[in-house]
Structure 1
Amino acid sequence: MSRTAIPTEFEDLLSATGRRVLAGAHPLCGALANPRTRFLAKADLIDRSKAERVRRALEASLVDELELMERPIPPESISAMRHDYGELLPKTSRARTIYFESRRERGVKAAERIGLARMMRSASFRAFAEALVGRRLAAGWGLQVLRYGPGDYAGPHNDHHPENKDARSGYIDLHLSLCSQGVAHQWLVYSRAGHFSEIVSVAQPATVTAYRLPFWHYTTPLVAKRGKDAARWVLLGTFLYR
């Protein structure tokens, strides 16, 4: 797979609609500034043919570099209970990932080799997040790559980090989700007015999701179409407020 499948700038993946968002000329601009809006999911902001080329590049170059991220339900969540209806569940999940904590890690080196890290660190990636939230965001944002296969999921969690002085007051996550044609469905469920009442598909070929964290949400297990290979890649940027 050619390195040119992954552009230098995130902007080059955008559809005409996505470019209007980046230019500040779309109703989505500043949407996350609304106190009642915690989450956005849009499937028309990325050019699908370009997204498919990126997805194929990831499959060709990064699958063997991913590490397992697995947090099962702890047995003591049942065995240690002493009161009826007193259950407490920590965040559970299963997927494969690349953490960008050190450039010496194999996965990070591979992401840099194919140009993925450069695109995710591009100025237009931050500018796009700023357009959605309607305010300036700090430089030096965090990166992560995830790959969900059949049965992979993320259990209920709120992404609150009260021990981190820079993130305790909130922050922004921007995800680019790239699905293979073999994915039947995967859903993101999130809370509104104290209930897990909102649900949106994240199984489209190219979806942009944006989160004004913290808030409660979870991702259902990925389900494959019968007899098909299925995976969903997520390219994730975490932005602190400037």
Structure 2
Amino acid sequence: MSSSSGSLLQDHGLSTQSKYAEFCAIGSAQGLARWLRTRMISAHLDMWGVEPGTKNVINLWVELAEGEITLEDSCPPKRTVNVASVNIRNKSGQVLLESHQEMGDGSIRFRNRPLSEKMKAGETVEEGCKRGICEELGLVLGSPDKIELLMDSYEKKVEERDSLSYPGLLTCYVVHSVDAVVADLPETDFFTEEDEDGRINGNHGFSFSSSGTREKAIGVKKHFWKWVPNNAPEQET
């Protein structure tokens, strides 16, 4: 726990920039695809955006372009992402979990974890948590004034594992967890809609695969939420 958790910044370790993929040198999603081809097993890359629940190279490019990740220049590369994880509790002490997501391509990604949001470079934990709540709960939330973050509950956990979104890409997850109370949420299971597909493709446009087919990033269309007992085990995703 940290007494200064509210001012914690997203830290990508850019003081050692030479270790990381150079954003300007890569230049585009196509450039990133070429960069990855020289550092990863092709069979892994060919699964991206094809296997249900996975994302594609354009998604990874958006993450890099928006400062949400770093990619270590190694073989294979290592992706590092700081995650703001919010344990939203109700009056009964239950915790809100995202059970699954419906993606823009119709596939389902199973989650079974608290509301989580990738933090951007320079963003505080408090800012990342509030932005994540607003983006993922949307109209169900109504007003940001309903959010109360309990910053004294702050905890940090670091783990490395293969990414389910990008098979074969080792990822270091730096998880910043905070408890929260959000007023007037539904008392039963519910879902929210997010135009992530339109937002990320509207900002970054289209790219083309090596086969010449038109592709775009795969965004989240719906989030499905459920209340569970506080001691329910969190599943890996």
Q: Normalised by the size of structure 1, how large is the TM-score?
A: 0.30
**TM-score normalised to structure 2 length:** 0.31
Greater fraction strand? 2
